Structure 1
Amino acid sequence: MLCSLTHCLLLLLLLHFADCGRILRKIKDRAYTLQLERAKQHLLTHTVSGHQPAQHVTEGKIHQPLDHFDRQNPGTFPQRFFVNEAYWQRPDGPVFLYIGGEGPISEFVTLAGHHVDMAEEHRALILALEHRFYGDSVNPDGLETDNLADLSSQQALADLAAFHQYISQRFHLSHRNTWISFGGSYAGALSAWFRGKFPHLVYGAVASSAPVRAKLDFSSYNKIVGLSLNNEVVGGSGKCVAGVGEAFAAVGAALMAGNASQVAMDFSCCQIPIDPNDQIELMQNLADIFMGSVQYNEEGVLMSIKELCGMMTDQDNKEPLDPYSRLVKVMQLYRSTTKEPCLDVSHEWAVKSLMDTSLHSARKAERQWLYQTCTEFGFYETCEDASCPFYKTVTLQTQTKLCALLFGISQHSLLERIAFTNTYYGADHPHTHRVLYINGGIDPWKELSVVCNELEEGEEEQVIFIRDTAHCADMMTGGVADRSSLREARREIETRVSKWLKTAAMMVRS
């Protein structure tokens, strides 16, 4: 008896595994590049007006211990940081610390963004610290598994504490200088955890889109993607979600029918996806476009949900297209936007890239971040249940096999590692004060953040929820096209930070 098409494809692909999210990583990098471009434009505006904050930015390096918890280990690594003194009111002005996450930072994170706007208002010293083992702050011994042993959020928090001491000595800071930390996504979690673990060093923390709860099977990511594509407030619809499902089913059917060459031609693949691993790569890459569009909706990174759903529901075509052809058009638009000559679907190349332990590969950050997911967080965006709008072939098993292959970390140990992370930090029920969690209603990462207040008597609100915005949208400088809910959220953040600074100043005077 023949099995169903979907069931056969699932059984075939379960025998293999793939790393997911290559296009999603590229979209994230594109978001970072776009933020840099906006920062440069912001800087140009200031320069034309006669104000030149860039002249006050300096870059430096602090030599941090490889292991803060083993004083017998003499190894160090250079950690990059930036300082912007343009707005600082010496000697007692506050300190705003921008925390780097799983990628490089540049001087522009001290020159533009909502935290910089607030720093200008409050006459704050602006700092930015790059995360250990990312960007230029790399272990000089390379990215071999043994050398990644000191890459962890706990070590990163210890870096922040040492950096606090270093900056305090360098600028002769005292208890009169109130520190506020800022971060988004993983760095948002670090901002919250820094306040929680070192409350004597940082007075308040802003944590945007912060996944403070580690989770092995993050199936709810794609569930929220589906709900967001169905959300009429942001341009989605039920017809859109249905069209997406039909399109992916059509691609799967074409592959199972042995039409890999035609599929490769239609989607401009660099390779013909005959191997099942390459077929998973193709399907994941296609899904990444939708995942990235939802995660960065209306931030100008790729397509908005409204634009994407317009294409998937044939709103702009005089002659109706079938779902498969609509998906082909989406891929064509992605490639024209990113200027990619073809779509790389080679699983072998992807694994080789992750095995690259050289220092020049560090800026790509893929190996380092995968290591952290294997050792601390999970965050595997699976697609096994009915809520996933794409396909049912990317399973938890297929993803976690990479931990064993690349780092020798057994799949059986992952649950224990993630449980420790949640116990150590408190997951999404942390007992912290003066931490502000900001999340967007269509951001899939909200599922792992703090979105509800559990207040004791006398405690202030710790949550700002923006029902119709996406990932870290609040961190950018405001624009005329911003939704009213986003503008209101920024005002609330400003009010909260102002209140913290006033309260801290009163405590110093008393």
Structure 2
Amino acid sequence: MFRLPVLLLLLVCLGASPCYGFLAKAHKRQPTASSPSVPEYWFEQRLNHFSGADTRVWQQRYFMNDTYRQSGGPVFLMIGGEGPANPAWMTSGAWLTYAEKLGALCLMLEHRFYGKSHPTQDISTDNLHYLSSQQALADIAHFQTVMKEKLGLADSKWVVFGGSYPGSLSAWYRMKYPHLAHMAVASSAPVKVQVNFSEYLEVVQLALSLNHSDCPEAIKMASEEVSKLLVLSSFQKLTDDFRLCELLQINSWMDTAYLLDTLAENIMNVVQYNKDNREFEGVKDTSITIQVVCDIMANKSLGTPYYRYANVIRTILEVNGEKCMDASYKKFIQDMRNITWASVSLGGRQWMYQTCTEFGFFQSTDSAAQPFSGIPLSYHVQQCSDIFGPEYNLSMVTDSVQQTNEYYGGLDIKGSRIIFPNGLIDPWHRLGINADLSGDLIAIQMEGAAHCANMYPARLEDPPSVPSARQYIFQLLTKWLNT
């Protein structure tokens, strides 16, 4: 089974959606739902916005819902992220509730190099040089400028929405193009980029301990036992216990780290999306919650922590309808080196390139306050080198991340009319805005909520903080659209 890089779980919310999530599992198990009744539209986009001499163009996909549009009403633009744009968001989601009340036209623009938006013939490293957040923001600006005239929207105020990486894009778009975007809703947005994001697993540990105080310790013991079995070359046992797709082969320390990372990602994914409402997108594993994981890890009748950990992994596989788990680093690298569009529809290679050249976001075990082991920063950086070449090393990644923070400002946001909702069990909130910066740079903290929780359709099971956040967002939309 094809497996994408760990950091893909990092930021998605709308999955093939406006809220991805930067962990490999988020893309491996991305939403499968679709809305055939929602037509696709195509926009002629520039390949390189920063060279007037470059006249090359390509076709960018977008979607439109004009059901609620009223004359003179606002335009809501959902920004796509590191995966295919999911048309399910054109028929459901909190933003459509706002649109109905405010008479908004709704558009969703797919991110360049993801989904069906193919700017180049392939995704060779040379072509990926045109994949960057700055080019993506310029795509949005050009799209908005043309669509304003094409659809007669000269007097309409534009509001940009996004979750996770697209959440950051929405904040950055409002900052960099204030003459185009009237306001932004930047959900679960990691606006500070960071090479070694070891805090991610610290939040995972805290979230796990909320249900069972000894849950993180049990997982830690299990992870350490896996490491011991690797040293003892107990490959058949590990293969059988964790239902690996083929007999485990360890030829380097990267093979070892990749297995430990693959197992850990399953738990990371559960925490990041705990009790969310992604069913309408076709996500299968929403029934696997922190409570389910920790109940299994606390069940001593299942054996040692190691066997309970294996039980958790098998349970997740079964819920997702997966017969086995791929844990071959060699195969992973081969997949990530494939430059054809047909093999990379989920966006793994593209997102890996962005993390190696702009963001970092590497979720390492370098902190002592987390439950896993054997996934150091050097493992993540080595992936950059193995996929794109030796020049993509720690020095290059560090310099690139520093440049990104210098360009956008990191946590030192300057601007106005931006809302930053964050769920407090979502590890990504550690790189976001968690306190008001001014009267119109507003942070909304959602106790007990996960990644992009405020973006999904409302339901009775939502933590009380989520409907409160949605109501506050609507109040600010109403207020700021009248300014």
Correspondent of 1:309 among 294, 300, 304:
294
2:6 corresponds in structure 1 to 20
When residues 217 and 22 of structure 1 are mapped into structure 2, their CA distance, relative to the original with a 3 A threshold, is closer
Where in structure 2 are the equivalents of 1:379-418 lying within 5 Å?
379-391=361-373, 393-408=374-389, 409-418=392-401
1: CA distance between counterparts of 2:183 and 2:56?
Answer: 32
When residues 271 and 430 of structure 1 are mapped into structure 2, their CA distance, relative to the original with a 3 A threshold, is same
When residues 29 and 188 of structure 1 are mapped into structure 2, their CA distance, relative to the original with a 3 A threshold, is farther
Correspondent of 1:150 among 130, 133, 146:
130
- Residue 133 of structure 1 aligns to a residue whose secondary structure is coil
Count the aligned residue pairs.
455
Q: Which moved more, 1:396-405 or 1:414-423?
A: 396-405
Letter in 1 for 2:328: S
Letter in 2 for 1:93: G
**Would the aligned equivalents of 1:21 and 1:285 in 2 still touch at CA under 8 Å?**
no
1:76 partnered with 2:57:
yes
Letter in 2 for 1:32: P
**Would the aligned equivalents of 1:21 and 1:288 in 2 still touch at CA under 8 Å?**
no
- Residue 150 of structure 1 aligns to a residue whose secondary structure is coil
2: CA distance between counterparts of 1:110 and 1:224?
Answer: 32
When residues 58 and 402 of structure 1 are mapped into structure 2, their CA distance, relative to the original with a 3 A threshold, is same
2: CA distance between counterparts of 1:494 and 1:423?
Answer: 32
1:260 partnered with 2:253:
no
1: CA distance between counterparts of 2:6 and 2:156?
Answer: 44
Structure number having the greater helix percentage: 1
2: CA distance between counterparts of 1:302 and 1:111?
Answer: 23
Listed as ranges, the gaps of 5+ residues in structure 1 are 1-17, 41-53, 504-510
- Residue 78 of structure 1 aligns to a residue whose secondary structure is strand
Where in structure 2 are the equivalents of 1:59-458 lying within 5 Å?
59-90=40-71, 92-174=72-154, 176-231=155-210, 236-275=211-250, 276=252, 277-299=254-276, 301-314=286-299, 319=301, 321-391=303-373, 393-408=374-389, 409-455=392-438
Letter in 1 for 2:269: G
- Residue 462 of structure 1 aligns to a residue whose secondary structure is strand
Q: What are the Cα deviations for residues 71-96 of structure 1, in whole angstroms up to 9, with x where unaligned?
A: 11222221100111111013x11100
2: CA distance between counterparts of 1:423 and 1:283?
Answer: 34
Q: Which moved more, 1:216-225 or 1:480-489?
A: 480-489
1: CA distance between counterparts of 2:8 and 2:332?
Answer: 8
Q: What are the Cα deviations for residues 177-214 of structure 1, in whole angstroms up to 9, with x where unaligned?
A: 11111000000000000100011111110000001111
1: CA distance between counterparts of 2:209 and 2:114?
Answer: 36
Q: What are the Cα deviations for residues 130-186 of structure 1, in whole angstroms up to 9, with x where unaligned?
A: 000100001232000000111000000000000001211111111x31111100000
Letter in 2 for 1:287: A
When residues 139 and 349 of structure 1 are mapped into structure 2, their CA distance, relative to the original with a 3 A threshold, is same
2:18 corresponds in structure 1 to none
Q: Structure 1 residue 483: deviation in Å? A: 1.3
Structure 1 length normalisation: TM-score?
0.86
Letter in 1 for 2:268: M
Q: Structure 1 residue 28: deviation in Å? A: 4.6
1:474 partnered with 2:454:
yes
1: CA distance between counterparts of 2:30 and 2:462?
Answer: 17
Listed as ranges, the gaps of 5+ residues in structure 2 are 10-22, 277-284
Q: Structure 1 residue 227: deviation in Å? A: 1.0
2: CA distance between counterparts of 1:98 and 1:461?
Answer: 19
2: CA distance between counterparts of 1:180 and 1:371?
Answer: 29
Q: Structure 1 residue 29: deviation in Å? A: 5.4
Q: Structure 1 residue 302: deviation in Å? A: 5.0
1: CA distance between counterparts of 2:106 and 2:62?
Answer: 11
Q: Structure 1 residue 279: deviation in Å? A: 3.0
Q: What are the Cα deviations for residues 260-315 of structure 1, in whole angstroms up to 9, with x where unaligned?
A: 1111111111222231443322211110111000000012625111111111111x
Q: Which moved more, 1:107-116 or 1:118-127?
A: 107-116
2: CA distance between counterparts of 1:107 and 1:223?
Answer: 34
Q: What are the Cα deviations for residues 101-128 of structure 1, in whole angstroms up to 9, with x where unaligned?
A: 0011132222111111110111110000
Structure 2 length normalisation: TM-score?
0.90
**Would the aligned equivalents of 1:134 and 1:363 in 2 still touch at CA under 8 Å?**
yes
Q: Which moved more, 1:469-478 or 1:67-76?
A: 67-76
Q: Structure 1 residue 21: deviation in Å? A: 5.1
Q: Structure 1 residue 32: deviation in Å? A: 3.4
1: CA distance between counterparts of 2:57 and 2:89?
Answer: 25
Q: Structure 1 residue 424: deviation in Å? A: 0.7
Q: Which has the larger radius of gyration?
A: 1
Q: Structure 1 residue 370: deviation in Å? A: 0.6
Letter in 1 for 2:429: K
